[in-house]
Structure 1
Amino acid sequence: MPKASIETQTSRKIIHVDMDCFYAAIEMRDDPLLRKAAVAVGGSPDKRGVIATCNYEARSYGVHSAMASAHAKRLCPNLIIVPPNFDKYRHDSKVIRSIFSKYTPLIEPLSLDEAYLDVSDSEHYKGSATYIAQAIRHEIHKELNLTASAGIAPNKFLAKVASDWEKPNGQFVITPDEVDAFMLELPVKKIPGVGKKTSEKLHNMGVYNCADLQKLELLDLTRKFGSFGQNLYYLARGIDNRPVITHYPRKSLSVENTYDRDLYTLEDCQDQLPRLMETLKHRLARSNIDSPVNKLFVKVKFSDFSATTVEKTSFGVNDDLFYELMDEGFHRREKSVRLLGIGVRFQNTESANFVQLPLEYIDEAFDQE
């Protein structure tokens, strides 16, 4: 490991806090009848809904997030699907965020239910990240009657991996001295950006864990995986020098709708655009985003669950361009359509020519094939 990386990582104490099946846990807390049932939060099976999250009882049947609700019901006939209540979830998320802020101002939210905390300079518990994580989890349970898991490590990548190690309602620590040994046994599928297709490619190369991956040269990985090969090279060694970032400029805003019945023609799809555009413009008007729009995009998900996104540069919202993009997207498959979405991408005025995405948001190019 390069000397600079060691110095950077050993001076940092990062906690990744991840709530345990957050939405479902809130619903179970608020309705005693749900506490011993298989519970999911999501859309109705009769209206092509999708599962947002589910409890561990439901997961034992193979139910998981992003699964069609109808399929989830087939896997688990007794599954209770509760419609989401985001006002309630946001309220509890704000309470959790306020608990974090007692221990450090360096908080990077990833969603309503998880965040990174940099407690390197925290004076609480004599600077012990382990005790700080315990205190945070205890306080969340006391205030909200919800459980959280935590990972403590010298960097964000390892902290996120560690938070999954003792789920639910546990925590796991990886000290700087333990990083090298820990990485040897870590499966490559635990690396951010490595999904099913990338895992298959690595397995075909005889690479199953990070010890195998460490045997490959940086040049070999970049030849095989492009720029993502560099991430593989360093993360396989536990190296991640990304700081905890307290604010990300918003890069896009979109709206979408899943339809009860398939849309069979381009005209059917275009007939849905006025309502989608009205909703998008309403959301834009309510947002406090200062960055100018520089692209429009249309998302089409077909009846076979394949999806495509078409985008084009546009300095502002252009209704006619949405119709053009819908035309192109529909004709890429010419199948019936179950979901449509439209949105805008914003110009990052601070770095207009280059945007560096954090590792969590790497486009899994190798998994889109």
Structure 2
Amino acid sequence: MIYTFNAKEFLLYPVMKSYFELSDNDVYKAIWEGFELLLKQLNRKKVSYDSLKSALIPNQDKDRFETCFIIDSTQMVCADYGNYVFEKLIPLLDKESAYSILCGDYIDLLYKYRTDSQQQLRWEMNNKLIRCHKSEYKHSSQYFLVYINRLTGNQRLKIVEGLYQYKWFTGFVDVTHSSCFKSYISNILESVCIKTKSTVIMSHPSDHSDDENINVRGLPFEANGFKIISINEDSYGAFLSYKLESQIPDKEDVGFSFNALFPKFDSFEKIELHISDDKWNKYLTNSEKGKGRIMETLGYSSIDKECFSKEVFKHICANYIYNLKKNEYGDLMFNVCVELPTVNGHIRKTTIALKYHPENGIIEVITVT
């Protein structure tokens, strides 16, 4: 199983396909050869790929939160504010759970298209911000963002309380659920590392030996009791860099993920979501023997199959797919995590397991959780 494949931020495979005019079958082989190489690299360094699962896939746990910490660099005297922030942050990280850490400046990608880009970026951040200190907004690029994808409430509280003593800590944004702010930062943040208990996994340049473990960023993980493992950036970028979910479709990224699942994927125009009447009536909407209680919570009854199908298909095209695998029966399986409104006005993260039939382009719903 490949937990996630990243062709959004990491462009090696799209560039290879375009430059060398590779077929889908060639890309499929290249992806799986790359994944096998990653497994060998991890095994050589005594890291289990399975132990990284929770750090790589979308979070559905109610007691885990995605958080973006906001730093005002103009309130610092040091030029290397990124490393300085991590000097203060790393001692606050736990040594039990697994999560991915991303960071980056709040740069303006909209200025070419909108004259009010700064007003828009300011509003999107401040609309969700839980403020800890005053900050005079002059330009989005003054803010440095650190994102962690899977914190408990207590872990987040420890970080907030630890950073609160610094005036440059503007506050944090809960990005557990979709928003314009979350979609925007999904395009500007880059992976720092995966932290799994007391081990930190980072990337190193491809011209370094894979037998080395290099702290390329020079962040003080070792000084705070963490062990550094580094993986070749060609392997890390494609298979270990976490992708934030976005409201904006990236069909090329999803298409490459399908290509990792099967040697040929034509286009979204040629695929169709199918739910059989038996599956819908006897399992998905059956409260006694199936998933009826979940479906009732989401407001779907036995007469809403078409409506549910359209909603799920829309999310498949707009979201990214993960847990890519061929099971023991040769079935091509994958998951999507979709946010659906509940009947009581909340948002529920729902994982939908699907099966892909490449011979006719049909995607079949297997279960929901």
TM-score for both structures, normalised by structure 1: 0.27
Of structures 1 and 2, the one scoring higher in RCO (CA 8 A, sep 6+) is 2
Structure with the largest fraction of helix: 1
